[in-house]
Each structure stands twice: as C-alpha cells, then as structure tokens.
Structure 1
Amino acid sequence: MLENQQTLFERVGGKQAIGELVDKFYDRVVADPELKPFFKNVSMDKIRRMQREFFSAALDGPNIYTGRPLGYVHHGRGITKHHFSLYVGHLIHTLQGCALKEQDVQDIISRISTYADEITGDAASGG
C-alpha cells in the first residue's frame, strides 16, 4: 500500500506502536506537576487502555472508542486551555521521539486538537 493510501494509524506503526506511544506519553503527562493532579485517584491502567483505544480510533485504526463521551468524562474537572496545551506539548515531544515524519506528527496533533473544546468544556459554553 502506498504511504498516501495508508491510514495515519498504519503510518504510525499500528497497534503495538500506539500502545508504546500511549505509555511514553502518559509517563510524561503524569510527571507534569500541573497535570498530575488530574490523575489522582484514577486507574492509570484504565486510562492507558482507553487512550490506546481512543488514539487508535482517532488515527483511523480498526478500534472503536468505547469510552464515555469526552465532554462527559472531563466535565467539571477544571481542565483549561492551558492544561490542554501542556498535554499537547507532551504529545508533540513524545511523537518527535518516535521517529515519525513531521507531517505525521502534525496530522496527529491536528486530530487530537479537534477534541479541545470537549475536554475543556468550551463546547458547551457556546450556546
């Protein structure tokens, strides 16, 4: 299959690569003193499992995200655009350490950023 015909999931390296990516990424996220409090009293095994599913689905992989809607899961947690920006920054650094093409990194960031309003609660504030 030609590169431009592959899904982003395939270009990243598939299921195993997504699993490794999520593990490295969340190691960075929970080490961040501003983001760590959001993960207090939550199962990191569950978070990582759901994030593997989420990333696979978001990158056109074969998995379907079975978790609750993002707006519901993150509602009332005090996540701001600043927090989301920190999260994305850790994702960028993680992706850049995975020997991906710059275009693939940008495509992943673009896809994940489409969920910013749901995660920060800004989607509900518009109307």
Structure 2
Amino acid sequence: MTDTTTAISMFERIGGRATIDALVDRFYDRMDTLPEAKIIRAMHADDLGPIRDVLKRYLTEWTGGPRLYTPEKGHPRLRQRHFGFSIGDAERDAWMLCMRGAMEQTITDAVARQDLDKALSSLADWMRNLP
C-alpha cells in the first residue's frame, strides 16, 4: 500500500479554496477579537480586508493550490516583508493562537490539520526577528 497523502497537496487535503477562505476569515476574526492577539492586531491596518485577500492568495499557493500570489506580488520574501515589525516569541505565539483556533474551526481532517499546524509553526518560528 502506498501513502497517498504525499501525492495530494495540502490545498486539496484541507478542502481547497473554500477552506482557505474560511481559515483566513476565522484567523483575522480571532486576531480582531482575542485579547491575547492584541500585540499582533496592532501591527495591522484598521481595515483587515486587503490583508485578508493577500493571505488567502498566499496560503492558496503555499499549500499547493493555484498560483494566486506570486504572479502579482512576486517571490514572497516573507521575512523581508516583515522586517518592519518586531516579531519575537510573543508575536509568534499570538499568531499561532489565532491560526490554531481558525484551523480547529475550519479543517475537519485531523491529520491534515496537524500537518498544516506543523508547517505553519515552522514558518512562524522562522519569521521571528528578535532575539
């Protein structure tokens, strides 16, 4: 028996575009309302609409879906794009708190959710730019 999860993209495993859209919406809803997320909410504009769209396009592509981000924005260069923000453990943890809650609300496949959590945790760790 072969492991079919390696042949299927994360995008497909979690439910495609509808799930990415719901995930990002729940993520920013949590960021906008959780007191624990205040530290990262302050890094964003009052209107979260434009950044929601950017994250939806980025995560769609990052998880193996259609190329929606790079044709418009170019290479993600995530750390470079975030250097203007102080990102340490507290910011990473707040971001992951919002993302984990959003994943719980939107991704029904527990194994896919765990795999995505692992990948996003690594990404969040890499984004830190404070000692």
- With the length of structure 2 as denominator, give the TM-score of the two structures: 0.77
Aligned partner letter, 2:9: T
Indicate if the aligned counterparts of 1:30 and 1:39 stay in contact, CA closer than 8 A: no
Distance 1:98 1:117 in 2: 23
* Corresponding residue of 1:11: 13
Alpha-carbon shift at residue 96 of structure 1 (Å): 1.1
- With the length of structure 1 as denominator, give the TM-score of the two structures: 0.80
Aligned partner letter, 1:53: R
> Which secondary structure state, in structure 1, belongs to the residue aligned with residue 67 of structure 2?
coil
Pairs aligned (count): 121
Alpha-carbon shift at residue 3 of structure 1 (Å): 5.8
Indicate if the aligned counterparts of 1:58 and 1:112 stay in contact, CA closer than 8 A: no
* Corresponding residue of 1:26: 28
Query: For structure 1, which runs of at least 5 residues remain unmatched after alignment?
Result: none
Indicate if the aligned counterparts of 1:81 and 1:116 stay in contact, CA closer than 8 A: no
Indicate if the aligned counterparts of 1:26 and 1:48 stay in contact, CA closer than 8 A: yes
* Corresponding residue of 1:91: 99
> Which secondary structure state, in structure 2, belongs to the residue aligned with residue 39 of structure 1?
coil
Aligned partner letter, 2:53: R
* Corresponding residue of 1:35: 40
Query: For structure 2, which runs of at least 5 residues remain unmatched after alignment?
Result: none
Distance 1:77 1:61, change over 3 A: same
Aligned partner letter, 2:29: D
Distance 2:59 2:84 in 1: 23
Instruction: Name the % identity.
Output: 23
Root mean square deviation of aligned Cα: 2.3
**In the alignment, is residue 53 of structure 1 matched against residue 57 of structure 2?**
yes
Higher relative contact order (CA 8 A, sep 6+): 2
Distance 2:4 2:24 in 1: 23
Task: State the Cα deviation string for residues 23-82 of structure 1 (Å, max 9, x = none).
Answer: 1111111323222111135x5222111101111122111225323511122103112122
Alpha-carbon shift at residue 19 of structure 1 (Å): 0.9
